[in-house]
Amino acid sequence: MAETLTFNSCGALVIGGSAGSLDVLLEIFPALSNDIDFPIILVVHRKANNESLLTDLLQARTVLNVREAEEKTPLLAKNVYIAPADYHLLIEEDKTFSLDYSEKVNYSRPSIDVTFQSAAEVFKYSLVCILLSGSNADGVNGLKVVNNLGGKVVIQNPKSAIMPYMPQQAFSNVKADAVLHATEMAEYINNLIKR
């Protein structure tokens, strides 16, 4: 079932977060290297209105290109894609995005589980997923799939999370490759750049 191939370089990074994760993203983004050579995908629970707020906040803090993920467009390196509010974000075999308006998962749409799992099936052992602060367990099942398919699982240290429930659930149920404080995240991500 699970592939036993192991991680060697990052094909894509997916970051999932809910309540309390914005502070972490605002900490990470200014410190991200210019040389990031993989796409970054963000799945953040939020209200359906105020579409561009998160994009604008993050774009102001990085040289990477931040935008909302659009359906049937390719995932490109050096780009940060934000899952649109009120849609699930899926990734196709040909590394393009698909959107899906099916039932909420864990009371959430976009659901972190859905994107983690979909990305894991495509990127397998070249995927890195980070789960941040949050107050429900969305993302935990997705991390299990990432783990099974050989990708890397990173969890925010629940002690450093504003809402520790989500990372704590992941910590208790999934084998993590790293458990990091918010302040350590950017360096970890920069170290994923191929050299």
Query: Which residues contact another protein (rule: CB under 8 A)?
Result: 1, 70-72, 84, 87, 90-93, 98-103, 114, 117-118, 120-122, 141, 144-145, 148-149
Closest CA to 44 of 71, 74, 66, 77: 66
Residue type, 121: E
- What DSSP assignment string belongs to 48-104? SS-TTHHHHHHHTT-SSEEEE--TT-B--TTEEEEPPTTSEEEE-TTSBEEEE----
Cβ of residue 81: shortest distance to another protein, in angstroms? 13
d(Cα 132, Cα 161) in Å, to the nearest integer? Answer: 7
Catalytic residue among 21, 45, 88, 133: 45
* Closest CB to another protein among residues 4, 103: 103
- Show the DSSP H helices in the chain as ranges: 21-28, 53-59, 112-123, 140-148, 165-173, 182-190
Task: Identify the helix (H) or strand (E) that includes residue 13.
Answer: strand 12-17
d(Cα 78, Cα 154) in Å, to the nearest integer? Answer: 20
* Closest CB to another protein among residues 99, 192: 99
Cβ of residue 17: shortest distance to another protein, in angstroms? 21
- Asked if 111 and 46 count as a contact pair (C-beta separation under 8 A), the reply is no
Catalytic residue among 108, 111, 118, 138: 138
Q: Is 45 a catalytic residue?
A: yes
Write out the catalytic residue numbers: 18, 45, 138
